[in-house]
Amino acid sequence: MSESHLICPPYNYLRDAKIYNKKDEIVPWHWIEENADILVLLFTAKGIDKDGIIENFYKIYENVKHRNFPLEVIYVPTDETEDDMKACYEEQANWFTLKLSDSLVPALMYIYEITCIPHVLVINVNGSVISKHGLIDLVEYGKNAVVSWLSTSGPTKNHRRVSKDAAMYGTEWRFHNAFKPHAQYKKKFSDLAEATSKET
């Protein structure tokens, strides 16, 4: 038997998971598999953030989703209580979650060796790891981290319109267009350039 026959694809632990959206509805795994190239597993709990990086990630996520990037985020709660988990998820971006009571939560922490939170783990939909240090990627590269994750995964999904999948998400996109000051800066710069050209 050749060596290539011994190599197995990574086991996909999320295939049988019960993943929920903001409306507390189950998101079918086949939908995620068909529409995402990468999954970001966010291990965190209420009141935990590292220098605002996680809150900034909310903004990055909602803005790249509206640009139809094929990624999904799943919150893996590490809270002490169900109430804390619900409060934490309520504050987060319009993405998906596992339930605190799901036996997959401690299993994922063990499998991926998550020892501290917050932790951002980036994987392909088949379960293979793209980045074990997504938080560091976000600190160093900001929104460009998402582009590097996608390029590493070798995008295979056709871009889809988030508007067509609106029913799969919650109704609020609170962090979309959170980078507006940058757009205003561009406008001011354009106005300045326009004024300068009129003077000459």
* pLDDT score at 153: 61
Taking the C-alpha atoms of residue 56 and residue 31, their distance in angstroms, rounded to an integer, is: 27
Q: How much is the average pLDDT of 137-160?
A: 78
199 versus 70: which is more confidently predicted? 70
pTM above 0.85, yes or no: no
pLDDT higher than 50, residue 191: no
pLDDT digits (tens, 9 = 90+) for 7-49: 666 667 778 889 999 999 999 998 898 888 899 999 999 999 8
Structure confidence at residue 182 as a pLDDT band (50, 70, 90): very low
pLDDT higher than 50, residue 186: no
Structural domain containing residue 117? 3-199
Looking at residue 3, the DSSP 8-state letter turns out to be G
Give the chain's domain count.
Answer: 1
Q: Give the residue carrying structure tokens 């267009």.
A: 177
* pLDDT score at 113: 94
Report the CATH number that the domain containing residue 104 is assigned in CATH. Answer: 3.40.30.10
What DSSP line would sit under 105-162, residue for residue?
A: HHHHHHHTT--SSSEEEEEETTS-EEES-HHHHHHHHTTHHHHHHHHHH---SPP--G
Q: Which of 130, 36, 116, 128 is nearest to 74 (CA)?
A: 36
Q: How much is the average pLDDT of 117-121?
A: 94
Structure confidence at residue 173 as a pLDDT band (50, 70, 90): low
195 versus 51: which is more confidently predicted? 51
pLDDT higher than 80, residue 187: no
Do 98 and 79 touch, CB atoms closer than 8 A?
no
pLDDT digits (tens, 9 = 90+) for 84-102: 999 999 999 889 999 999 9
Q: Fill in the amino acid letter for 177.
A: N
Q: How much is the average pLDDT of 169-185?
A: 53
100 versus 52: which is more confidently predicted? 100
